[in-house]
Structure 1
Amino acid sequence: MTFNLFKRLEAPKGKIRVVIDTDTYNEVDDQFAVVYALQSQDKLNVEAIYAAPFFNERSQGPADGMEKSFNEINKILALMNISRENFVFRGSTGYLEDLAHPYRSEAAMDLIEKAMASSDDDPLYVVAIGAITNVVSAILIQPEIVHKIVVVWLGGHALYWPDTKEFNLYQDLLASRFLYDCGVPLINIPCMGVCSHLLTTLSELEAHIDRTSKVGQFLLETFKGYHEDHYAYSKVIWDISTIAYLINPTWVETKVVHSPILTDQFTWSFDLSRHPIRMATFLNRDGIYKDMFKKLCGER
């Protein structure tokens, strides 16, 4: 490698350049993460948002999931009076079938353009909070961007968890495996065992989000509509962990580990000769929510 991988895995300092790759319509956490990032302009210069594919009961297939996410991103920006022009890009319409045929989507090509414009001392941070198809497609099309970016991905489960069949990871097994194999600087934030206590409730959100703002009301209504009965119900807002790490890395405890091997059975295997990545091991739930609530109420 022609760059210092260990240095790229250090916590970011100062204001950083960011793009967000998100399956925004899939759940309720992406919406919070996008708004949180856009309300953190003192730390993050968000240069673009990419729509990622997803397929579950909220879509008819990965292409439909991507298109719904694209529309959801635009809805959020409209509520925040932010223009979508040259800022929001459609991503992959499917998942990788082989490494020889990456998706040349608007998102992948824009990521390549922005990454290649990055200097060695100012890498582009790629916040990925969905299937990793768009990001891996960009790397396959232009491998040189490995030296220009740092990927911060919410994906998989903790290394000690009995499996790693997590939604973002298992949607595109081939792309997920390539991410761990390719040597890109990777900050991996697992779900179960790490982010799984990043819980909140409707009553807490109602107490701390400004319901007079359009985007605040939107977030509350989206959360409320996600579950029929909110009595003794709590929900993990997984994706805000990636934004929190970039804002204040002390809120997300991490350690450098050898990149794990992702098996066909969606389990981890280990080889101590492999390249390093940084893996999150714990997070400060209260610190993260306190910061996000302040920003959702217009404070900085």
Structure 2
Amino acid sequence: MTNYMKTIYTFILFLLISAFAEAQQKPIHLIIDADTANEVDDLFALVRAIDEPAFNLLGITSAQFHTSPQATENTVSESQQINEQIIKVMNRPEIKLPLGSNVPLASMTTPSPSKASKFIIEKAHEMKDNEKLDLVILGSCTNVASAILEDPSIISKIRVNYLGFWHTVKTNTYNKKEFNSGNDPLAVDVLLNTVDLEFNVMTATTSQHLVFKKKTIDKQLKGKGGIKDILVNRWDTYNRWWTKKDPKKKEWVMWDVALIEALINPEYATITPLETPKENTKRTIGVYTDLDKKAMEKAFWKHLNKL
């Protein structure tokens, strides 16, 4: 190889490495859709995401959870209030907080429009040709499904990351009798049936393995003020209605945190291309089938300690 060819080769290699490094450093454009008032883990997931440098967090939209036995007539407003509290305490006023729909879809062709669905549409259209808007759904799918029904032209501009379903990997069978899915089953089917929609799901089956212990929560957060005390108080005061086990709440499944950590650190989770449920349009989606719970929890506390 001549010196000239070596120079050209070195230059091309430099360009490729630089392009790869730039792609790796480019933040994920993100909107999180959360039923924050429904549980405890939503708050932990939001706090994990808000100051994460890997994210360009454009907004947090509020979601309804009307099937909860603790539900009021306006669950979306409850989620909205907590979202506003978190943003205020963490001093991030530039993060938008559009209000979502308080009711699920009336049909698979009828959206439930809201400020949240309009915001999703607006931000999707702001994406450049080589970009996608990542939508993280931590509760019901109402707002995202509504946005797609209102403006199908956004489908190629978005990627949906959903926390829901029970799933058996060996037989690739889905059980939609899961809390998030049950709060708007029609919206879930809209997303599954949208052929060109990039759709990844962190199943309840996989995320249930990420469990935090109360003694760790107290050691890391209690008495440290600000958002950390808010997280501790939420754990202490929330009525865990779905189980009588562990009445002292010594442990809590961090379902939503698992999805956030998987987006920040893809190496901590395994995503497998699988076919959709049999009752839905046949296509391939991404299903998280495994996670490194120890690495995820370590990353979570490393980030929280910086706050």
TM-score (norm 2): 0.84
Q: Which has the larger radius of gyration?
A: 2
Query: Is 2:215–2:250's contact at 8 Å kept on the other side of the alignment?
Result: no
Aligned-partner Cα distance in 2 for 1:52–1:149: 19
String of CA shifts for 1:110-164, please: whole Å, max 9, x gaps. 1001001112311000011000000000000111111001111001111356733
The residue type paired with residue 101 of structure 1 is T
Greater relative contact order (Cα < 8 A, sep 6+): 1
The residue type paired with residue 286 of structure 2 is R
Per-residue deviation, 1:259: 2.0
Query: Is 2:87–2:95's contact at 8 Å kept on the other side of the alignment?
Result: no
Query: Is 1:202–1:230's contact at 8 Å kept on the other side of the alignment?
Result: no
What is the total number of aligned residue pairs between the two structures? 274
Which residue among 140, 154, 171 is the counterpart of 2:163? Answer: 154
Report what 2:16 is aligned to: none
Q: Does 2:254 align with 1:237?
A: yes
Query: Is 1:19–1:47's contact at 8 Å kept on the other side of the alignment?
Result: yes
Report what 1:168 is aligned to: 180
Is the partner of 1:158 in helix, strand or coil?
Answer: strand
Q: Does 2:68 align with 1:51?
A: no
Report what 1:69 is aligned to: 79
Report what 1:207 is aligned to: 219
Query: Is 1:177–1:262's contact at 8 Å kept on the other side of the alignment?
Result: no
Report what 1:3 is aligned to: none
Report what 2:202 is aligned to: 189
Aligned-partner Cα distance in 1 for 2:168–2:192: 13
Aligned-partner Cα distance in 1 for 2:188–2:174: 18
Alignment of 1:284-295 (within 5 A): 284-295=292-303
Per-residue deviation, 1:187: 1.1
TM-score (norm 1): 0.86
RMSD: 2.0
Q: Does 2:191 align with 1:179?
A: yes
The residue type paired with residue 77 of structure 2 is E
Aligned-partner Cα distance in 2 for 1:142–1:189: 25
- In the alignment, structure 2 segments of 5+ residues that lack a partner are 1-22, 241-245
Aligned-partner Cα distance in 2 for 1:244–1:125: 14
Aligned-partner Cα distance in 2 for 1:139–1:227: 34
Divergent runs of 4+, >6 A: none
Aligned-partner Cα distance in 1 for 2:224–2:256: 24
Alignment of 1:14-25 (within 5 A): 14=25, 15-25=27-37
